[in-house]
Amino acid sequence: MKKFSLVDNFFYLGLMAGKSANGALRDSDASTATRAAWLHFAGGLTQAEVAKRLGLTSLKAHRLIARASREGLIKVYIDGEISECVQLEEQLSARYGLEFCQVVPDLDEGENDNSALPLKSLGMAGAQYLKLALERDKDQLIGVGHGRTLAACIDYLPRTSAGKTRFVSLLGGLTRKFAANPHDVIHRLAERTGAEAYVMPVPFFANSVEDRSVLLNQRGISDVVDLAKQANLLIVGIGTAEPGASLVATGMIERKEINDIKRKGGCGELLGHFFDRSGAPVKTDLSDRTLSLTRDDLRDRKLIAVAGGSEKTDAIRSILKSGFLKGLITNEFTANVLAGSPPKSVKSAKG
Across 297-309, average pLDDT: 96
Q: How far apart are CA 231 and CA 137, in angstroms?
A: 13
SS3 291: coil
Same domain, 62 and 196: no
Q: Which of 172, 118, 125 is nearest to 148 (CA)?
A: 118
Angle value at C-alpha 117, between 111 and 121, nearest 5 degrees = 75
Same domain, 205 and 264: yes
Same domain, 29 and 110: no
Q: How confident is the model at residue 12 (pLDDT cuts 50, 70, 90)?
A: very low
Q: Quote the pLDDT of residue 14.
A: 35
Q: Say whether pLDDT at 312 is over 70.
A: yes
Q: How confident is the model at residue 181 (pLDDT cuts 50, 70, 90)?
A: low
- The length of the chain in residues reads 351
- pLDDT tens digits, 79-103: 666 788 899 999 999 999 999 999 9
Q: Quote the pLDDT of residue 27.
A: 52
Q: Say whether pLDDT at 206 is over 60.
A: yes
Question: Domain range spanning residue 35?
Answer: 17-72
Q: How far apart are CA 322 and CA 280, in angstroms?
A: 6
Work out the mean pLDDT of the chain and round it to a whole number: 82
Same domain, 149 and 213: yes
The reply to whether 327 falls in a domain is yes
- Among the listed ranges 15-19, 64-68, 144-148, 225-229, which one has the minimum average pLDDT value? 15-19
pTM for this entry: 0.77
Angle value at C-alpha 127, between 123 and 131, nearest 5 degrees = 175
Q: Residue 92: exposed, middle, or buried by beta-carbon count in 10 A (0-12, 13-18, 19+)?
A: buried
Where would I find the H helices in 97-180?
Answer: 119-136, 148-155
- pLDDT tens digits, 261-273: 899 999 999 998 9
Q: What is the CATH number of the domain that holds 132?
A: 3.40.50.1360
Where would I find the H helices in 38-76?
Answer: 47-54, 58-70
Among 29-38, 72-81, 177-186, top mean pLDDT goes to 29-38
Q: Quote the pLDDT of residue 111.
A: 44
Across 5-29, average pLDDT: 37
Q: Say whether pLDDT at 247 is over 70.
A: yes
Across 6-17, average pLDDT: 32
Last residue of some domain: 28, 46, 72?
A: 72
**Torsions phi, psi for 154 (to 5 deg):** -70, -35
The reply to whether 346 falls in a domain is no
Interhelix angle for 209-216 vs 221-229, to 10°? 90
Last residue of some domain: 72, 96, 111?
A: 72
- What are the b/e assignments for 293-318, b being 16+ CB within 10 Å? bebebbeebbbbbbbbbbbbbbbbbb
